[in-house]
Structure 1
Protein backbone atom coordinates (compact mmCIF):
# COMPACT_ATOMS: atom_id res chain seq x y z
CA UNK A 1 0.00 0.00 0.00
CA UNK A 2 1.21 3.50 -0.78
CA UNK A 3 0.22 5.42 2.36
CA UNK A 4 0.71 8.99 1.17
CA UNK A 5 -1.13 8.24 -2.08
CA UNK A 6 -4.07 6.58 -0.30
CA UNK A 7 -7.00 8.33 1.36
CA UNK A 8 -9.94 7.64 3.63
CA UNK A 9 -12.36 10.60 3.87
CA UNK A 10 -15.51 10.71 5.98
CA UNK A 11 -18.25 13.29 5.47
CA UNK A 12 -20.06 14.13 8.68
CA UNK A 13 -23.39 15.93 8.24
CA UNK A 14 -25.22 18.17 10.68
CA UNK A 15 -28.78 17.54 11.80
CA UNK A 16 -31.49 18.67 14.18
CA UNK A 17 -33.83 21.68 14.06
CA UNK A 18 -30.86 24.08 14.43
CA UNK A 19 -28.72 22.35 11.79
CA UNK A 20 -28.36 25.57 9.82
CA UNK A 21 -26.29 26.96 12.72
CA UNK A 22 -23.73 24.13 12.51
CA UNK A 23 -21.27 22.86 9.93
CA UNK A 24 -20.87 19.71 7.90
CA UNK A 25 -17.33 18.35 8.18
CA UNK A 26 -14.87 16.14 6.34
CA UNK A 27 -12.41 14.16 8.44
CA UNK A 28 -9.68 12.27 6.62
CA UNK A 29 -6.39 10.45 6.74
CA UNK A 30 -3.61 9.58 4.36
CA UNK A 31 -1.66 7.88 7.16
CA UNK A 32 -2.77 4.33 6.36
CA UNK A 33 -0.80 1.26 7.39
CA UNK A 34 -1.33 -2.22 6.03
CA UNK A 35 -1.15 -4.36 2.92
CA UNK A 36 -3.02 -5.28 -0.23
CA UNK A 37 -2.71 -8.85 -1.56
CA UNK A 38 -4.31 -8.92 -5.01
CA UNK A 39 -3.46 -12.57 -5.63
CA UNK A 40 -5.50 -13.59 -2.58
CA UNK A 41 -8.02 -10.78 -3.09
CA UNK A 42 -7.71 -9.30 0.38
CA UNK A 43 -6.43 -6.29 2.25
CA UNK A 44 -5.91 -5.17 5.78
CA UNK A 45 -5.34 -1.59 6.79
CA UNK A 46 -5.48 0.55 9.87
CA UNK A 47 -5.19 4.19 10.85
CA UNK A 48 -5.05 6.22 14.03
CA UNK A 49 -8.01 8.39 14.94
CA UNK A 50 -5.74 11.09 16.37
CA UNK A 51 -4.14 11.51 12.94
CA UNK A 52 -7.41 12.45 11.24
CA UNK A 53 -7.44 15.87 9.65
CA UNK A 54 -10.54 18.04 9.88
CA UNK A 55 -11.96 20.12 7.04
CA UNK A 56 -9.13 20.29 4.50
CA UNK A 57 -10.43 22.77 1.92
CA UNK A 58 -9.83 20.49 -1.11
CA UNK A 59 -11.59 17.54 0.54
CA UNK A 60 -14.55 19.71 1.52
CA UNK A 61 -14.88 20.80 -2.10
CA UNK A 62 -14.71 17.16 -3.32
CA UNK A 63 -17.50 16.33 -0.84
CA UNK A 64 -19.67 19.10 -2.27
CA UNK A 65 -19.36 21.38 0.77
CA UNK A 66 -19.16 24.99 -0.35
CA UNK A 67 -18.25 26.70 2.93
CA UNK A 68 -15.13 26.59 5.11
CA UNK A 69 -15.52 26.60 8.91
CA UNK A 70 -13.32 28.93 10.94
CA UNK A 71 -10.17 27.62 12.61
CA UNK A 72 -11.94 27.91 15.98
CA UNK A 73 -14.83 25.77 14.70
CA UNK A 74 -12.38 23.18 13.35
CA UNK A 75 -10.49 23.08 16.67
CA UNK A 76 -13.78 22.64 18.54
CA UNK A 77 -14.77 19.82 16.21
CA UNK A 78 -11.43 18.06 16.79
CA UNK A 79 -11.74 18.35 20.58
CA UNK A 80 -15.32 17.08 20.67
CA UNK A 81 -14.70 14.33 18.12
CA UNK A 82 -11.59 12.86 19.73
CA UNK A 83 -12.55 13.13 23.39
CA UNK A 84 -16.34 13.04 23.68
CA UNK A 85 -17.42 11.06 20.63
CA UNK A 86 -14.67 8.69 19.48
CA UNK A 87 -12.85 8.40 22.82
CA UNK A 88 -9.63 8.18 20.80
CA UNK A 89 -7.40 7.65 23.84
CA UNK A 90 -9.24 4.43 24.73
CA UNK A 91 -9.78 3.31 21.10
CA UNK A 92 -6.95 4.86 19.03
CA UNK A 93 -7.09 2.62 15.92
CA UNK A 94 -9.57 1.86 13.16
CA UNK A 95 -8.95 -1.56 11.59
CA UNK A 96 -10.32 -2.67 8.21
CA UNK A 97 -10.09 -6.23 6.90
CA UNK A 98 -11.58 -6.78 3.47
CA UNK A 99 -11.76 -9.42 0.76
CA UNK A 100 -13.44 -9.70 -2.61
CA UNK A 101 -16.89 -11.26 -2.45
CA UNK A 102 -16.81 -14.71 -4.05
CA UNK A 103 -16.71 -14.55 -7.84
CA UNK A 104 -16.42 -10.77 -8.12
CA UNK A 105 -13.88 -7.97 -8.11
CA UNK A 106 -16.40 -5.15 -7.85
CA UNK A 107 -17.60 -5.74 -4.29
CA UNK A 108 -15.78 -6.21 -1.00
CA UNK A 109 -16.86 -7.85 2.19
CA UNK A 110 -15.29 -5.51 4.75
CA UNK A 111 -15.01 -5.86 8.51
CA UNK A 112 -14.46 -2.54 10.24
CA UNK A 113 -13.40 -2.30 13.87
CA UNK A 114 -14.01 1.10 15.46
CA UNK A 115 -14.50 2.02 19.09
CA UNK A 116 -13.91 -1.63 20.05
CA UNK A 117 -16.82 -2.89 17.91
CA UNK A 118 -16.56 -4.84 14.62
CA UNK A 119 -19.22 -4.64 11.92
CA UNK A 120 -19.37 -6.15 8.43
CA UNK A 121 -20.30 -4.21 5.28
CA UNK A 122 -20.74 -4.97 1.59
CA UNK A 123 -18.73 -2.29 -0.19
CA UNK A 124 -18.96 -1.44 -3.91
CA UNK A 125 -15.48 -1.27 -5.40
CA UNK A 126 -13.96 0.33 -8.47
CA UNK A 127 -10.61 -1.28 -9.32
CA UNK A 128 -8.21 -0.13 -12.00
CA UNK A 129 -4.59 -0.77 -12.85
CA UNK A 130 -2.08 1.77 -14.10
CA UNK A 131 1.16 -0.05 -14.86
CA UNK A 132 2.47 -1.49 -11.58
CA UNK A 133 -0.03 0.54 -9.53
CA UNK A 134 -3.47 -0.70 -8.54
CA UNK A 135 -6.08 1.85 -7.51
CA UNK A 136 -9.12 0.79 -5.50
CA UNK A 137 -11.87 3.27 -4.70
CA UNK A 138 -15.41 3.34 -3.45
CA UNK A 139 -18.04 5.01 -1.31
CA UNK A 140 -20.38 3.60 1.32
CA UNK A 141 -22.18 4.62 4.51
CA UNK A 142 -22.02 3.50 8.12
CA UNK A 143 -23.90 4.53 11.24
CA UNK A 144 -22.06 5.71 14.31
CA UNK A 145 -24.53 3.88 16.56
CA UNK A 146 -23.57 0.57 14.89
CA UNK A 147 -20.24 0.97 16.71
CA UNK A 148 -21.73 2.01 20.04
CA UNK A 149 -20.96 5.68 19.38
CA UNK A 150 -23.48 8.33 20.37
CA UNK A 151 -23.51 11.08 17.73
CA UNK A 152 -22.53 14.48 19.12
CA UNK A 153 -25.46 16.73 20.05
CA UNK A 154 -26.06 19.91 22.04
CA UNK A 155 -29.16 21.78 23.18
CA UNK A 156 -31.06 18.54 23.72
CA UNK A 157 -30.38 17.41 20.15
CA UNK A 158 -31.50 20.66 18.53
CA UNK A 159 -28.01 20.85 16.96
CA UNK A 160 -26.56 17.42 16.27
CA UNK A 161 -24.39 15.29 14.05
CA UNK A 162 -26.35 12.84 11.90
CA UNK A 163 -25.84 9.18 12.72
CA UNK A 164 -25.03 8.22 9.13
CA UNK A 165 -21.49 8.90 7.86
CA UNK A 166 -20.39 8.86 4.22
CA UNK A 167 -17.05 7.07 3.75
CA UNK A 168 -14.97 7.51 0.63
CA UNK A 169 -11.71 5.70 0.01
CA UNK A 170 -8.99 5.68 -2.62
CA UNK A 171 -6.28 3.10 -1.94
CA UNK A 172 -3.12 2.95 -4.01
CA UNK A 173 -0.96 -0.19 -4.03
CA UNK A 174 2.02 -1.34 -6.03
CA UNK A 175 2.44 -4.85 -7.43
Structure 2
Protein backbone atom coordinates (compact mmCIF):
# COMPACT_ATOMS: atom_id res chain seq x y z
CA UNK A 1 0.00 0.00 0.00
CA UNK A 2 2.96 2.36 0.38
CA UNK A 3 2.75 3.25 -3.32
CA UNK A 4 -0.67 4.90 -2.93
CA UNK A 5 0.21 7.19 -0.02
CA UNK A 6 0.05 10.89 -0.76
CA UNK A 7 -2.48 13.43 -2.00
CA UNK A 8 -4.39 12.99 -5.25
CA UNK A 9 -6.42 15.61 -7.13
CA UNK A 10 -9.45 14.13 -8.85
CA UNK A 11 -11.78 15.37 -11.58
CA UNK A 12 -13.46 14.37 -14.84
CA UNK A 13 -10.07 13.57 -16.42
CA UNK A 14 -9.62 10.60 -14.07
CA UNK A 15 -13.14 9.61 -13.05
CA UNK A 16 -16.91 10.07 -13.29
CA UNK A 17 -19.81 11.00 -11.04
CA UNK A 18 -23.23 9.70 -12.09
CA UNK A 19 -26.70 10.23 -10.66
CA UNK A 20 -29.27 7.53 -11.37
CA UNK A 21 -32.95 8.29 -10.96
CA UNK A 22 -36.00 6.06 -10.85
CA UNK A 23 -39.69 6.72 -11.52
CA UNK A 24 -42.90 6.06 -9.65
CA UNK A 25 -46.59 6.89 -9.86
CA UNK A 26 -49.45 5.78 -12.06
CA UNK A 27 -47.75 7.05 -15.23
CA UNK A 28 -44.30 5.63 -14.37
CA UNK A 29 -44.28 3.62 -17.61
CA UNK A 30 -44.29 6.86 -19.62
CA UNK A 31 -41.14 8.21 -17.94
CA UNK A 32 -37.51 7.14 -18.00
CA UNK A 33 -35.00 5.97 -15.44
CA UNK A 34 -32.15 8.41 -16.05
CA UNK A 35 -28.39 8.26 -15.87
CA UNK A 36 -27.09 11.81 -15.46
CA UNK A 37 -23.41 12.76 -15.36
CA UNK A 38 -21.97 15.58 -13.27
CA UNK A 39 -19.50 16.96 -15.83
CA UNK A 40 -17.77 19.51 -13.54
CA UNK A 41 -16.47 18.22 -10.24
CA UNK A 42 -13.27 18.03 -8.27
CA UNK A 43 -12.02 15.95 -5.39
CA UNK A 44 -9.05 15.24 -3.22
CA UNK A 45 -7.89 12.04 -1.54
CA UNK A 46 -5.09 12.18 1.03
CA UNK A 47 -3.58 8.97 2.33
CA UNK A 48 -1.09 9.73 5.10
CA UNK A 49 2.38 8.26 5.09
CA UNK A 50 2.14 6.73 8.56
CA UNK A 51 1.07 3.55 10.34
CA UNK A 52 -2.65 4.37 10.10
CA UNK A 53 -2.50 4.48 6.27
CA UNK A 54 -5.86 4.11 4.54
CA UNK A 55 -7.87 4.22 7.80
CA UNK A 56 -6.62 7.79 8.33
CA UNK A 57 -7.29 8.84 4.73
CA UNK A 58 -9.43 11.88 4.00
CA UNK A 59 -11.70 12.36 1.01
CA UNK A 60 -13.41 15.54 -0.15
CA UNK A 61 -15.34 16.47 -3.28
CA UNK A 62 -17.17 19.41 -4.80
CA UNK A 63 -19.91 18.73 -7.37
CA UNK A 64 -21.36 21.35 -9.71
CA UNK A 65 -24.99 20.32 -10.28
CA UNK A 66 -25.21 23.11 -12.85
CA UNK A 67 -23.18 20.82 -15.14
CA UNK A 68 -25.60 17.91 -15.43
CA UNK A 69 -25.72 16.01 -18.73
CA UNK A 70 -28.32 13.30 -19.39
CA UNK A 71 -26.38 10.27 -20.65
CA UNK A 72 -29.08 7.59 -20.78
CA UNK A 73 -32.79 7.05 -20.33
CA UNK A 74 -34.16 3.54 -19.98
CA UNK A 75 -37.77 2.42 -19.97
CA UNK A 76 -40.39 4.91 -20.98
CA UNK A 77 -42.99 4.96 -23.74
CA UNK A 78 -40.42 6.10 -26.33
CA UNK A 79 -36.64 6.61 -26.51
CA UNK A 80 -35.15 9.86 -25.26
CA UNK A 81 -34.46 12.46 -27.94
CA UNK A 82 -31.81 15.19 -27.83
CA UNK A 83 -34.64 17.65 -27.12
CA UNK A 84 -35.80 15.47 -24.18
CA UNK A 85 -32.24 15.52 -22.82
CA UNK A 86 -32.08 19.33 -23.05
CA UNK A 87 -35.52 19.68 -21.45
CA UNK A 88 -34.53 17.38 -18.57
CA UNK A 89 -31.29 19.35 -18.01
CA UNK A 90 -33.24 22.64 -18.02
CA UNK A 91 -35.81 21.26 -15.56
CA UNK A 92 -33.03 20.00 -13.28
CA UNK A 93 -31.39 23.45 -13.37
CA UNK A 94 -34.68 25.06 -12.32
CA UNK A 95 -35.16 22.59 -9.47
CA UNK A 96 -31.56 22.64 -8.22
CA UNK A 97 -30.84 26.34 -8.74
CA UNK A 98 -27.71 27.92 -10.12
CA UNK A 99 -24.37 29.31 -8.99
CA UNK A 100 -23.25 28.41 -5.48
CA UNK A 101 -26.70 27.00 -4.75
CA UNK A 102 -26.01 24.24 -7.30
CA UNK A 103 -22.76 23.16 -5.62
CA UNK A 104 -22.66 20.17 -3.30
CA UNK A 105 -19.70 19.23 -1.11
CA UNK A 106 -18.70 15.96 0.52
CA UNK A 107 -16.21 15.66 3.38
CA UNK A 108 -15.21 12.31 4.83
CA UNK A 109 -15.27 11.63 8.54
CA UNK A 110 -14.09 8.03 8.49
CA UNK A 111 -12.66 5.50 6.04
CA UNK A 112 -13.41 1.85 6.77
CA UNK A 113 -11.25 -0.52 4.67
CA UNK A 114 -12.55 -4.04 4.06
CA UNK A 115 -11.11 -6.50 1.58
CA UNK A 116 -10.97 -4.96 -1.89
CA UNK A 117 -12.94 -1.89 -0.85
CA UNK A 118 -14.85 -0.76 2.20
CA UNK A 119 -16.81 2.36 3.04
CA UNK A 120 -16.32 6.08 3.37
CA UNK A 121 -18.58 7.83 5.87
CA UNK A 122 -18.95 11.57 5.74
CA UNK A 123 -21.19 14.58 5.29
CA UNK A 124 -22.89 15.77 2.11
CA UNK A 125 -23.85 19.45 2.12
CA UNK A 126 -26.20 20.95 -0.47
CA UNK A 127 -28.50 23.98 -0.42
CA UNK A 128 -27.50 24.80 3.15
CA UNK A 129 -28.42 21.36 4.48
CA UNK A 130 -25.99 18.66 5.63
CA UNK A 131 -26.69 14.95 5.88
CA UNK A 132 -24.55 11.91 6.74
CA UNK A 133 -23.71 9.75 3.73
CA UNK A 134 -22.04 6.36 3.50
CA UNK A 135 -20.26 5.48 0.26
CA UNK A 136 -19.79 1.76 -0.37
CA UNK A 137 -16.49 1.41 -2.22
CA UNK A 138 -14.95 -1.40 -4.28
CA UNK A 139 -11.57 -1.52 -5.96
CA UNK A 140 -11.30 -3.07 -9.41
CA UNK A 141 -7.52 -2.56 -9.37
CA UNK A 142 -6.47 -2.49 -5.69
CA UNK A 143 -4.82 0.77 -4.76
CA UNK A 144 -5.62 2.43 -8.07
CA UNK A 145 -9.16 2.19 -9.48
CA UNK A 146 -12.13 2.71 -7.16
CA UNK A 147 -15.89 2.65 -7.63
CA UNK A 148 -18.53 3.58 -5.12
CA UNK A 149 -22.23 4.11 -4.58
CA UNK A 150 -24.47 5.93 -2.14
CA UNK A 151 -28.20 6.54 -1.91
CA UNK A 152 -29.38 10.10 -1.27
CA UNK A 153 -32.90 11.35 -0.59
CA UNK A 154 -33.71 14.60 -2.36
CA UNK A 155 -36.12 15.75 0.34
CA UNK A 156 -33.28 15.62 2.90
CA UNK A 157 -31.86 18.63 1.04
CA UNK A 158 -35.11 20.53 0.60
CA UNK A 159 -35.67 19.32 -2.97
CA UNK A 160 -39.17 18.38 -4.04
CA UNK A 161 -38.79 15.49 -6.50
CA UNK A 162 -40.03 16.23 -10.02
CA UNK A 163 -43.62 15.34 -10.89
CA UNK A 164 -45.38 15.46 -14.25
CA UNK A 165 -48.75 14.63 -15.74
CA UNK A 166 -50.54 16.23 -12.78
CA UNK A 167 -48.62 14.07 -10.30
CA UNK A 168 -49.15 10.78 -12.10
CA UNK A 169 -45.43 10.59 -13.01
CA UNK A 170 -42.98 11.08 -10.16
CA UNK A 171 -39.25 10.99 -9.72
CA UNK A 172 -38.43 8.75 -6.77
CA UNK A 173 -37.12 10.60 -3.74
CA UNK A 174 -34.07 8.32 -3.52
CA UNK A 175 -31.38 8.73 -6.17
CA UNK A 176 -28.24 6.65 -6.52
CA UNK A 177 -24.94 8.46 -6.74
CA UNK A 178 -22.14 6.45 -8.33
CA UNK A 179 -18.53 7.41 -8.77
CA UNK A 180 -15.36 5.98 -10.15
CA UNK A 181 -11.84 7.30 -9.77
CA UNK A 182 -8.58 6.08 -11.23
CA UNK A 183 -5.74 7.24 -8.96
CA UNK A 184 -3.15 6.21 -11.57
CA UNK A 185 -4.53 9.02 -13.82
CA UNK A 186 -4.95 11.58 -11.01
CA UNK A 187 -2.57 14.46 -10.37
CA UNK A 188 -0.40 13.58 -7.36
CA UNK A 189 1.05 16.09 -4.95
TM-score w.r.t. length of structure 2: 0.76
- Unpaired segments of 5 or more residues in structure 2? 1-8, 49-55
Query: 1:91-142 CA distances to partner (integer Å, 9 max, x unpaired)?
Result: 1211111243467661111211122211112221113656xx7222111211
Paired with 1:19 and 1:66, the residues of 2 have a C-alpha distance of 9
Query: 1:27-76 CA distances to partner (integer Å, 9 max, x unpaired)?
Result: 1124322311022411111121111211x25xx6xxxx367411121111
Answer yes or no: is 1:49 the counterpart of 2:65: yes
- Give yes or no for contact 1:14–1:161 (8 Å, CA) kept in 2: yes
Moved more, 121-130 or 87-96: 121-130
Paired with 1:6 and 1:102, the residues of 2 have a C-alpha distance of 21
Query: 1:3-40 CA distances to partner (integer Å, 9 max, x unpaired)?
Result: 21211101111211011111221111243223110224
Match of 1:98 among 88, 98, 108: 108
How many equivalent residue pairs?
Answer: 165
Name the counterpart of 1:125: 137
Answer yes or no: is 1:169 the counterpart of 2:176: no
- Flag the structure with larger Rg: 2
CA 21–66 in structure 1, closer or farther in 2 if over 3 Å, else same = closer
Name the counterpart of 1:152: 162
Paired with 1:66 and 1:159, the residues of 2 have a C-alpha distance of 13
Paired with 1:169 and 1:118, the residues of 2 have a C-alpha distance of 20
Name the counterpart of 1:80: 91
Name the counterpart of 1:29: 38
TM-score w.r.t. length of structure 1: 0.82
Q: Report SS of the residue matched to 1:73.
A: helix
Paired with 1:103 and 1:78, the residues of 2 have a C-alpha distance of 36
Answer yes or no: is 1:136 the counterpart of 2:131: no
Q: Report SS of the residue matched to 1:151.
A: coil
CA 36–128 in structure 1, closer or farther in 2 if over 3 Å, else same = farther
CA 135–30 in structure 1, closer or farther in 2 if over 3 Å, else same = farther
C-alpha root-mean-square deviation of aligned residues, in Å? Answer: 2.4
